[in-house]
Amino acid sequence: MDKLRRLAILPVAILALTACQAGSGASGSAGASGDTAAACDNASGEDLLARICEAGKIVVSTDPDYAPQSFIGDDGELDGFDIDVAKKIAESLGVEVEFATPDFAAVVAGNWSGRFDMSVGSVTVTEERTEILDFTQPYYFTPAQMGVTEESGITSIDDLAGEVVCVGEETTYQFWLEGALNLGPGGEVRREAPEGVEVTTLPTDANCAESVQSGRTDFAGFLTASETLRQAIADGIALVEIEEPVFFEPLAIAFDKSVEDNDSLVTEVDRIIGEMHEDGTLTQLSEEWYDGQDLTKAAE
C-alpha cells in the first residue's frame, strides 16, 4: 500500500492536530477547477448552497484519526481517501474546503448548529440516521472486519462470545454487536454477533488499535472497516484479522436534516457524487488509497 500511512498516534501528529484545529477547523485548499464550469457559477437564491457559494468555502467534518480514510499526515495536514473526495466535491462546487474534526458521535447526532455544512467522514447510511441526516447516494462500500489481539489467541468470531470487543462510539460496529443494525440500501449483514459479547467504546475506531499498541488488555476483539484494521496491522500493532467480513456498509455524504434550506446543496453534491462514479474519479481514488481495490460498488 504505497500511499497508506501509519495511524496518527505520535506526539508530533497530536501537536499538528492541535494546530490544525484552532477555531474548530483545519483549513485545506481545494480551489475551483479553472477550465470547468463549477456549480456555484449558476447558484442563485438565498439557501445554504447560495450562502456557501457567496462565502467561497464549504466546511466539511471528517475524522482526524481514521487511516486510510482520513488522518493527519507527516506534513501536519489532513490526508486520505475521504479528504480527497471532499476536495473533489469542493472543486466541483467552485469553492475552497475547510475541515472540522468533531467527534463522530456529534456528527451522527445531527443538529450541527451550523458548525459544518456536510460530513465526508465515512458515515454509514442506516434507517435510524436517515431520520436526522440527509444523505447522498453512497460513494463507497466497506466490509466490517473483526480483528482480535494476538495475545487473545482467538481464531473465530464465535469464540468472542462473552468477550469484550472495542469499537468506535455510535458506529455501525457498535450497533451490530448490540443487535441493532439496520443498514440502508446497498448494505448487507452476513452474520449475527456472537452471543453475550460485551462492548467497550472509544471516540473513534482507531483509538481501539492505539489502545492495543499502548498495552491495554481489557478487550480481545476490535471491529472496524477492513482497511482500517489492515492499516493498524501494517503499522505493527498486535492485531489479527479473523474470518470473513460480518457486514458490508454503504457510506455516503451526510447533511444536517434540521437545516431546512439545504435541499439544493444535497441535490448538487449527490449529482457530483454520481458524476464521480461515472467518470471513474471515485474508482481512481479508491484504488489509490486501498491498494488497488475498487470499493465504490456494493458487495455482490
Domain ranges of the chain: 11-139+251-289, 142-248
Candidates 3.40.50.300, 3.30.505.10, 3.40.190.10, 3.40.1390.20; CATH matching 11-139+251-289: 3.40.190.10
pLDDT of 24 reads 38
pLDDT of 37 reads 66
Which residue stretches of the chain have pLDDT < 70?
1-37, 300
pLDDT of 6 reads 35
- Residue 15: CB atoms within 10 A of its CB come to 12
In the block, residue with C-alpha cell 479508491: 286
pLDDT tens-digit readout, 209-253: 999 999 999 999 999 999 999 999 999 999 999 999 999 999 999
pTM for the predicted model, two decimal places: 0.84
In the block, residue with C-alpha cell 434507517: 127
Q: Is there a shared CATH topology between the 11-139+251-289 domain and the 142-248 domain? A: yes
pLDDT tens-digit readout, 12-25: 333 333 333 333 34
In whole angstroms, give the CA distance from residue 193 to residue 205.
18
pLDDT of 197 reads 97
The arrangement of secondary structure in 142-248, i.e. its CATH architecture, is 3-Layer(aba) Sandwich (3.40)
